[in-house]
Amino acid sequence: MSDFVHDGWSFYIAIITVASLLACAVLLKALSTRKLAQGEQVETTGHSWDDLQELNNPLPRWWMWLFYITIVFSLAYLILYPGLGSYAGYLGWSSQGQYKDEQQQAAAVYGPVINRFLKQDAVAVAANPEAREIGQRLFLNYCAQCHGSDAGGSRGYPSLRDGDWLYGGTTEAIRSTILNGRNGVMPPLGAALGGSEDVRDVVHHVLALAGRTHDGLRAQRGKAKFATTCAACHGVDGKGNQQIGAPNLSDDIWLHGGTEAAITETIVKGRINQMPAHKDFLDEGKIHLLTAYVLGISGQGKP
């Protein structure tokens, strides 16, 4: 793939783009200036329907000039804006630059409103109606795509309302998650457990930990396998480990489903979850308000 980021590709793209536009102009000129000799009949394109024939006449001049205007507009656009390989355009415009400018304008207008909450504790901010309203709008913009507009989550995306936390529900833990993101990995353990029957035994032990309907004999057999293969992350009692994001398996709250089939799939294939870092596009004030808002909807930020 390194060949496709070489500087030579920029020239190649620019040449092909300009040549294509010029070729369109030449083709248009050739097809719109053909004249018939005296007595020559206009050829048909071979298409006919209900005694109607499609003749090979030149384009109307008004239509031809519209095409020419389009080509001239395209050339002017490519001079002013990026489009010819790595050429940045005469105006130096870029979508990233426009985004940064809009961020700066928004920060100048809304920054003072948001940053005045920085001096307050997150729990106090969570109890402030105005701060909650601002936090909700930030949440809808940056978080609702994964966690849902009501923060209830969905399969693979944790609910933020149930008080169950993979990495901890303290103010600092939530803030760290928003700032730096999280990378959760559950390795595939089907082969390590020995086979499908052993996997099923462990699944029933996990169901037993969560208080779900299970096969008691299988759960008893799976307990030993769980202790040697799964307890390193989830603990012998299945309570999990927030230091590494290992979920609690005993609370009957499931990120990828708690049925026998879903748990089997998790054990055999593993899981990979990623929470993206927001530190590169959210300032300290927005991070603080989002942290407080999450605390509030989880019930921990209520006075």
Q: Do the domains 185-275 and 121-181+276-297 match in fold?
A: yes
* CA atoms of 204 and 240, how far apart (whole Å): 17
| Domain 121-181+276-297 grouped into CATH 3.40.140.10 | no
β pairing state of 182-186 and 44-49: unpaired
DSSP 121-154: -HHHHHT-HHHHHHHHHHHHHHTHHHH-TTS--B
Predicted local distance difference test score (pLDDT) of residue 303: 42
Please give the Cα distance from 34 to 27 (Å, whole number): 12
Which of 182, 184, 162 lies closest to 173, judged by CA? Answer: 182
For residues 200 and 143, what is the distance between their CA atoms, to the nearest angstrom? 36
CA distance 139 to 145: 9
Other C-beta atoms closer than 10 Å to the C-beta of 79 total 13
Q: What is the token pair recorded at 100?
A: 């940064």
- The pLDDT value recorded for residue 39 is 64
Containing 52, the helix (H) or strand (E) segment is: strand 52-55
- 3-state SS class at 299: coil
Residue 270: CA count within 13 A, CB half-sphere:
12
Q: Are 135 and 292 in contact (CB under 8 A)?
A: yes
The structural domains of the chain, with segments of one domain joined by +, span 8-30+58-92, 121-181+276-297, 185-275
Q: Which residues pair with 157 in a beta bridge?
A: 154
**Consecutive 10-residue runs of the chain (303 residues): their mean pLDDT?**
67 91 90 67 75 77 90 95 90 91 90 92 94 95 95 94 92 96 94 92 97 96 95 95 95 95 96 94 93 90 49
H-helix segments, 48-94: 61-80
CATH number of the domain located at residue range(s) 185-275 in this protein: 1.10.760.10
φ/ψ (deg, to 5) at 53: -115, 145
Contact 181, 277 (CB under 8 A): yes
